[in-house]
Amino acid sequence: MFLEVKDLKKVYKRQRAVDGIDFSLKEGEIFGLLGPNGAGKSTTISMIAGLIKPTDGDIIVEGRSILKSPKEIKRMMGLVPQEIALYPTLSARENLKFWGRMYGMDSIRLKERIDEVLRILGLTERADHRIDTYSGGMKRRINIGAALLHQPKLLIMDEPTVGIDPQSRKHILDMVLDLNRQGMTILYTSHYMEEVEYLCHRVAIMDRGSIIASGTKEELKAMVGNAHKVVVEADNFRQYMVDTLRVLEGVQQVMVEKQSITILVKDGRKRLADIIKVFNDDGCKVNSVSIKEPDLEGVFLHLTGRALRN
């Protein structure tokens, strides 16, 4: 295994942020950590990147413990933080130059790599503009570029697409796939289920500091069988109706979010008429109904009864 996380724990005062998790990454794969905000993904990543000390457990990279050889292991890694960790008054080139220096690169190699990274990011022409003049998507790209300069073996990406437009997101996701094709191992965290599904070979789903499921996308989807996600948008929905829906045949979970009711149900198409009847009988006005194939969102709902994005 390229990276092994063993019984990793982090306790802040009385709060268990990470509660004894185990997972491993093979060399050359994209591994996704999926979970809602507060699940413990960023704390896990901070421990892997050597930013905070675990309360217990260990992280082994290529056979070496990060607790024992932090400097050597940090050199093999590139960290893309969730925040735009750049200096806004410096240009993109100045930022990249600085981060390259921090990774100990010499000036000749650094110059070549800066040009190469700017080309990969599609920002060569804006390289000498200050970061604070960039759009959100462009800042995100430079944020990633700063971690690529020293060609790390392991790239750790913590929610790298938060708050950007769909076009920039697509660019970033394609870039991640390209990097992986070139042999880079990637640990990717997100609470965007679609991104993890699109990118990752294997996924671990985290909730409240624990890993509640892990495996390939197919393995995880198999956990919910042939269940579908039925989403009903309705007016005048009343809380007692949740119990009525739950006793219907095949219903696994019901989740209410404002006027949107999500029902995880086996053979969704067959049960649709029964579901609509519950709404009609109680005088609810149904505005729309959609049936979705099983996905990781459905897996999370199946396991926790909650939505991924809350």
Partner 1 sequence: MKVLYLALKDFKVTFKDKKALLIMLVMPIILILILGFSLEPMFRQNPRVAKFNVGMISYDRGILAQNLVDIMKGQELSELMDVYEIKEEDIRQLIKDGSITAAVVIPRYFTDKAIKGEDVSIRVYGHPAKQVSGGIVNGIVDSYATGVSCVAVAIDNVIETLMGFGMEHQVLGSKTGQIQDRLVAAVEQAGRVFTESTQQSPRWITGFEYYSVAMVAMFILFGAMFSVFSIIEERQDRTLARLFSTGMGSISLTVGKFIGSYVTCLVQAAILIVFTNWVYGVSWGPSPWAVVIATLAACFAASSFAVFIASVSRTPKSADALQMLTIQGMSLLGGSMLPLYIMPDILKSISRFTINNWAIRSYLSLITGNPLRDISQHLAILLAIGGAFLVLGSWVISAGSDGR
Q: Is residue 1 within the footprint of partner 1 (CB under 8 A)?
A: no
Q: Give how many residues touch partner 1 by CB under 8 A.
A: 29
Cα separation, 57 vs 20, whole angstroms:
7
Smallest distance, partner 1 to C-beta of residue 93, A: 12
Cα separation, 161 vs 154, whole angstroms:
18
Sign of dihedral through CA atoms 196, 202, 207, 208? Answer: negative
Smallest distance, partner 1 to C-beta of residue 183, A: 21
Smallest distance, partner 1 to C-beta of residue 196, A: 22
> Based on CB atoms, which residue is closest to partner 1, 150 or 202?
150
Smallest distance, partner 1 to C-beta of residue 59, A: 11
Amino acid found at 122: G
Residues 206-245, mask of contacts with partner 1 (x by CB under 8 A): ----------------------------------------
DSSP 301: H
Residues 2-41, mask of contacts with partner 1 (x by CB under 8 A): ----------------------------------------
> Based on CB atoms, which residue is closest to partner 1, 104 or 166?
104
Closest to 173 in 3D by CA, of 183, 191, 152, 188: 188
Do strands 154-158 and 15-25 pair parallel, antiparallel, or not at all (unpaired)?
unpaired
Q: Which of residues 134-173 bind partner 1 (CB under 8 A)?
A: 146
Cα separation, 199 vs 99, whole angstroms:
26
Interior angle at CA 150, CA 144 and CA 153, nearest 5: 85
> Based on CB atoms, which residue is closest to partner 1, 80 or 255?
80
- Stretch binding partner 1 (CB under 8 A), from 14-22, 85-93, 237-245, 286-294: 85-93
Contact present, 4 and 195 (Cβ < 8 Å): no
> Based on CB atoms, which residue is closest to partner 1, 111 or 266?
111
DSSP β-bridge partners for residue 119: none
Smallest distance, partner 1 to C-beta of residue 126, A: 18
Whole-angstrom CA distances from 125 to 27, 116, 171, 273 are: 34, 13, 17, 57
Amino acid found at 189: T
Q: Which residues bind partner 1 (CB under 8 A)?
A: 46, 49-53, 70-71, 74-75, 77, 79, 81-87, 89-90, 94, 98-99, 101-104, 146
